[in-house]
Structure 1
Amino acid sequence: MDNATYAQQRAENAERQPLLGGAYNSQQHEPTAADPDHDELSSTRLAVVFGSIWIIVVLTALDSTIVATLTAVISTSFSSFNNLSWIGTAYLVGTAATQPLAGRWTDIYGRRRGLLAAGVVFGIGTLLCGIASQEWVFILGRAIAGAGGGATTATSTFVGADLVPLRRRGVVQGINNIAMGCGTGLGGLVGGLLNKWFGWKMAFLAQLPIVVLGLVLCAVVPDIPSQPSKKDHGSRLDYAGSVSLVLAIVLLLVGLNAGGNEVAWTHPLVWSTMVLAAALFALFLLIELRHAAQPIIPLGLLMHRNVWSACLTYFFAHMAAFATMYYIPIYLQVRGSDPTHASLRFIPQSMGTAIGAYGAGVLIKVTGNYVYLSAAAHVFLVTASALAATLDGQTPSWCPFFYLGMVGLGFGAMLVTTMLALISSVEHSEHAIATSASFAFRAVGSSTGITLASVVFQNTLIADLHRRLGGGGEIDKLIERIRRNFDAVWELDPPTRAAVQGGYLESLRFVFITILIMSVASMACSLVMRQNKLHNNLARR
C-alpha cells in the first residue's frame, strides 16, 4: 500500500465514521479493538477492567527492578560474570521486539487475546528464570519474559485508548504510571527480601500465582475489547514486515549493547549485527511501502507532524531518563554508597514519574491542553539533567535523590502529554498502530541512551585515569582491573583511591553533560507538536 492510497483510505474512513456510528445499536454493540461506537463505561466498570489488566503490568515493572538489584547475586550463582550485562539486556531486547507489533496484531485478533497471549509468554519466561540451572536458560527466560511484558504494557495502553475519551485519557495513563511506579519502587525491596529468605529463584517463582490471577481476570472481565477490528485477519497479517522489523530491532540492540561492554566496537559481532540490522530495516521499509496490504506500521502515518515529533521526543527522553537511572547509582557507589541498598535508588524516580503522570492527566482533563504541559515537563527534565552535571565529591547526599525525583516528574508528565499529542493526531482506528510505532522509538532510545552514556564514560575514564596515575604496564593493569571491578577501588592505598575516585567523578560529569544534551533534544522535538482538540467522547464528535 503506497502513501497516497493510505492517505485516501484515511480520508474515506474519516468521512464514513459519523454515519457508521449511527448504524449501530449501542445497547447491543460489543466493544471491539479500535472501535469508538460503543457505550462509554462507568468509572466502576473501567476500574474493574484496568485493575484486572494492571495486575500483570505491575509485575512487569516489579520484575525489571528485581533483576537490577539481584544481578550480582544471580551472576555469582552461575559462576559467570562475562555475560553479566545480558541479564538486563535480554529483557529489553524482548520488549523491543514485540511492542512495535502489538498494535496491528491486537487490532486483528482483539485486545483480550493479545493480553492473554502476552501474559502467558511473560509467565513462561518468568518460570524459566525461576527454574534455570544454567545462565543461558536464565537469559532466554529474561528475553521471553520481556517479549510478554512489553506486549502487555503496550496492549494495556491500547485498551485505555479504546475505552476512554481523549480528554480523560491522561488521568487513566497517570494511574497506570502510579501502578507501574509502585512495581518499580517495590521490586528491589521485594527481590531483596525473597532472596534473603528463600534465595533469588523465589523472586521469580513467587510471581507465577499472581500472573495466573491476572490471566483469569483478563479472561473473564466482560468489558475488555475482545472482538477484532479487522475481518479476514489471517490474510491481512503482514508476516514479512513483522519478521524483518523484529530481527532488525533485535540485531540493532544486540550490537549496541555488546559494543564497548562485552567486546570492542571494532569486533565482528558489533559491525556485523549493525550491517544486518540496517539491511533488515531497508527490507522492512520496502515491504511496508510496496508489498504489505496491511502494514505493521504505515509509513504515511509517520509523516504527520505530531506523530514524528512525538516519536522523536520519546526517543531522546528515554535516552536521557534511562542513562540517568543507570549512572546516578554509579555516582552514589563512587561516593561510597552501599550497593546492597540499590532498591532505594529507584524510589524517587518512580514516585516522581507516578506523580508527574497523574498530575499531567488531571490538568489535561481540566484544561484540554497538552502543549504547555509538555513544555513544563521538559523544563523539569532539562533542569534535573543540568543539576546532575554539577554533581561532584562534595555534593550533599540528598541531592542525587532529589534530582532523580525531578527527572521522574518531568518524565512522567512527558509520557502523558506526548502520548495525547500522538493519538489525538490520528483516527481512532489507528491509535494502536501509532502507539506501537512510538514504543519502537522508546525501546531503541532506552538502549541507545545507555550505550552512548557508556561510550562517553569508558573513554573519558580511561583518559582521565592515565592522566592522574601515569602510564606503564602496571598502571594499565590497575586501570583495567578497576574498570572491570569497582570494588577493587576500596583495596587501593588512600592517595591512589582518591585519584581513581576523582577520575570516576570527572567521567560521570561528562556523562551527565551528555544526558543534558539528550534532554534538550527531547525538548526541542516536543516544541514542534501542535495542539489538537481533545474530545469528551470516544467518537470524537
Structure 2
Amino acid sequence: MAAPVNPTERSPLLDPTSGQAEDGTTSRESAANGEVFFFNEPTTLQMTKATSGVFLGIIFVAVDSSMIATLSAPISSTFGSLSRLPWLVSTFFIANAAIQPLCGKLTDIYGRRDGLILSNITFSLGNLMCALAQSEWVLICGRLVAGIGGGGIAAISTFVLSDLVPVRRRGVWQGIGNIFFGAGSGLGGYFGGWLNDYINWRAAFWIQIPFTVLATILIFFTVNIPITNSDATKRSKIRQIDFLGASTLFAALTLLLLALSSGGNIVPWLHPLVLTSLPLSLLFLLAFVLIELKVAAQPIIPVNLLWDWTIAGACLTNFFSSMSRFALLFYLPVYLQIQGHSPSETGLRLVPGSFAAALASLVSGVIIRSTGRYYKLGVSSQVIYFVGMAWIVAFNLKTPAWIPFVSFSITNIGFGAMVSATIVAILAVADQKNQAVLTSALLAFRSTGTVIGITLAGLTFQNVLRSELWNRIGDIDHADEQIKRIIADLDVIWDFPTALKDQILQAHMSALTAVFAVILGMGGLGIVTSFFVKDIALPRKAKPSDSNR
C-alpha cells in the first residue's frame, strides 16, 4: 500500500495505485513534454466528492442569471431605467466573454482550485455591490464584477470535468452539471421573484453570498488537480497569456453595447456618441482579430483552429443559439409581466423550461455515450429550438397561460441538447493541448452571442415600443413626458385609465412580437451553422492518453 501523503495543488487528484482506467490501464502523461500528470479515471464517488463545491458554485451562478431575468423589470422600475435594461443584463456577459478565455491558461499556471476560489470570492463581491447599490450605475458595476466571478466559475468548472473524465463520458457529466445549472435556473427565477414580492429585490443578491462562501470552502478541501507545466516559471508563462486580446474584445463589446443601447433610445442615431462608438467598436474588433492572428503567442480564441469545420460550426452554433436563447430569457418575463403576472408568478413560469434544458443536456450526454455520435443530435437540437421559438412569435396578450410553459420548455430542450452535443464535438477533434483553450473559446462565443443578442433585442424593443406608443397615444396631453415614463418604468402602465392602458399594452406587445421575430431569426442561423459540424465516431473505451481528455 502506498504511504499516505498530504495532497497539494501539484499532487495528483487520485492515487496512481488506487485502480485502473476504463480500459484496464493507468494513464500518466509525460512531464517532460510539459503536460499534466493524470492517473486513473475517477469513480463516481470520487467525482461526487471532487465536484461538490464546483456544482454548488454552478447552482448559484445559474440562480443569479435567472434571478436577474425575473428582477430586471422591478430593478429598472426602482431606478426609472427600463431603457438601460440591456446594460443591467449585458455587462455580466461582457465580463464573461472577457474573462473566460483567460481562465484556461491562468488556471494551468495557478491551479484550478485557486482559480475557482478567486472566482467565487469575486462573484460574492459583485453580489454585495448589487445588494448595496443606490444607483443603477453602481448596480451595473456590481453586475460587471459578478460577471467576472461567474464567468470564471462557469469556465473553470468545465475544465475540472475535462481534466477528470474521458471525452466519451464527458457528455454525461456535462449533463449532470447542467442538471445543477437547471435547478439553479429554475428555482432562481421563482425565488428571486418571491423575494421581490415579499421583501425586496436586494434580498435576492444578499442571499447568494453565504452559499457562495460555502462553495469556496468546499472547493478548498475537495478540488485538487495538478498544475500543468509545473517545471516552468510562472513569469514566463504569464507573458504567454493573451491579456491584450481579452482587453480589445472587452472594449469592442462594450462600445457596441453603448452604441446600440443608446441609438434611438437615449440619443438620436446620428448623435456623436453613436457615430463614435460604432466605428471604434469595429476597430477594436479588427484589432482583436489581428492580435489573435499575428501577435498573441497563445491567443484566447485560436483563429487558425477555427478553419476546422467542426470547431467553427460548434462555436458559431453556440454563438447564434446563445444570442437567441438569452434574449428570450430576458424578454419573455417582460411579456409575462404585461400579461399581469407578478415577478414571482413570472419566475414560476420559467421553472419547467430551466429543468427541461438540464434534462435534455443529460439525456443528450447519455445518447452520445451510447451511440458515440453527436452530429444528428446537434442538428436536431437546433430544429427543436426553432419550432418552440416559432410558437412564441405567435403570442398575444390573450395567449393561454399553459402555452408559455410548453413553448419555453421546447426551446430549452433544444438549447440543452445543443450544449452537450457541441462541447463533445469540439473535444472530439481537439488535441489534448488545445482542449482548455477551445473550451474557453466556446464559452467566449457563447458569452459574446449573449451580449449581442440581448443588445439587439433591447434595441428592437425600445425603438419599436417608442414608435408604437407615439402612434397609439401620441395625441394625449404631455405625450412626450408620459411616453418617457412608460419606457423607463414598466409598473406605470397600471396607473393609466383602462382605454389608455390597453393601448399601452398593445404597444408593448407589438414591440415584443418584433423582438421574438428577431430571436427566431437568430435561431435559424443556429440551424445553418449546426450543419458545419462533422460527425466523428467516438471511441468506446478511454485510451491511455484519453483518460482525462
TM category, shorter:
0.7 to 0.9
Report the residue type matching 1:162 in the other structure.
D
1:84, CA displacement in angstroms?
5.4
Which residue identity lines up with residue 537 of structure 1 in the other structure? Answer: A
Structure 1 unmatched ranges of 5 or more: 1-23
* Paired residues for 1:413-452 under 5 Å: 413-452=417-456
Report if aligned partners of 1:104, 1:433 keep a CA contact under 8 Å in 2.
yes
Match of 2:10 in 1: none
Of residues 355, 362, 384 in structure 1, which corresponds to 2:359?
Answer: 355
Q: Which residue of 1 aligns with 2:390?
A: 386
TM-score, structure 1 normalization: 0.86
Equivalent residues in 2 for 1:86-485, closer than 5 Å: 86-194=87-195, 200-221=201-222, 223-228=224-229, 231-232=232-233, 233-468=237-472, 478-485=482-489
2:68 aligns to what?
Answer: 67
The answer to whether the Cα contact below 8 Å between 2:81 and 2:489 also exists between their aligned partners in 1 is: no
Comparing 242-251 with 363-372, which one deviates more in the overlay? 242-251
Gap change, CA 1:496 and 1:205, over 3 Å in 2: closer
- In structure 1, what is the Cα distance between the partners aligned to 2:406 and 2:134? 40
Q: Measure, in 1, the Cα distance between the counterparts of 2:100 and 2:362.
A: 23
1:43 maps to which residue? Answer: 44
1:272–1:105 Cα change, 3 Å: farther
Judge which range, 225-234 or 111-120, deviates more: 225-234
Q: What is aligned with 1:58?
A: 59
Find the aligned partners of 1:222 and 1:464 in 2 and give their Cα distance: 54
Offset of 1:480 from its aligned partner?
Answer: 4.4
1:537 lines up with 2:542 in the alignment: yes
Deviations 1:254-308, CA, capped at 9 Å, x for gaps: 4444445544444433343333332223223333323332223322111111111
Deviates more, 1:97-106 or 1:461-470: 461-470
- Which moves more between the two structures, 394-403 or 495-504? 495-504
Greater CA deviation, 55-64 or 504-513?
Answer: 504-513
**Range 409-418 or range 179-188, more displaced:** 179-188
Gaps of 5+ in 2: 1-24
What SS does the corresponding residue of 2:40 show, helix, strand or coil?
coil
- Kept in 1, the 8 Å contact 2:129–2:139? The answer is yes
Rounded to whole Å, the distance in 1 between the matches of 2:375 and 2:447 is 24
| Post-superposition offset of 1:363 | 0.9
Q: In structure 1, how many angstroms separate the alpha carbons of the residues matched to 2:363 and 2:179?
A: 11
**CA distance in 2: counterparts of 1:391 and 1:78, whole angstroms:** 29
Amino acid paired to 2:158: T
Alignment of 1:486-501 (within 5 A): 486-501=490-505
Letter in 2 for 1:511: V
Query: What RMSD, in angstroms, separates the aligned Cα atoms of the two structures?
Result: 3.1
- Going from structure 1 to structure 2, the CA distance change for 1:287 and 1:347 (only over 3 Å counts) comes to same
CA 1:54–1:301 in structure 2 vs 1: closer, same or farther (change >3 Å)?
same
3-state SS, counterpart of residue 236 of structure 1:
coil
Contact 1:112 1:225 in 2 (8 A): no
Q: Which moved more, 1:144-153 or 1:119-128?
A: 119-128
Match of 2:529 among 515, 521, 525: 525
How many residues in Structure 1 have an aligned counterpart in Structure 2?
A: 517
- Given that 1:218 and 1:224 are in contact with CA atoms closer than 8 Å, whether structure 2 keeps it comes out as no
In structure 2, C-alpha distance between the alignment counterparts of 1:61 and 1:141, rounded to whole Å: 17
Q: What secondary structure, in the 3-state scheme, does the structure 2 residue paired with 1:64 have?
A: helix
Cα offset, 1:225, TM superposition: 4.3
What's the secondary structure of 1:392's corresponding residue? coil
Distance change in 2, residues 1:448/1:509 (3 Å)? same
Cα shift readout 1:442-476 (whole Å, capped 9, x = no counterpart): 11211222222233334444444555557687555
* Offset of residue 316 of structure 1: 1.0
TM-superposed CA distance for 1:176, in Å, is 0.9
CA distance in 2, matches of 1:25, 1:486: 60
Amino acid at match of 2:282: A
Offset at 1:360? 0.6
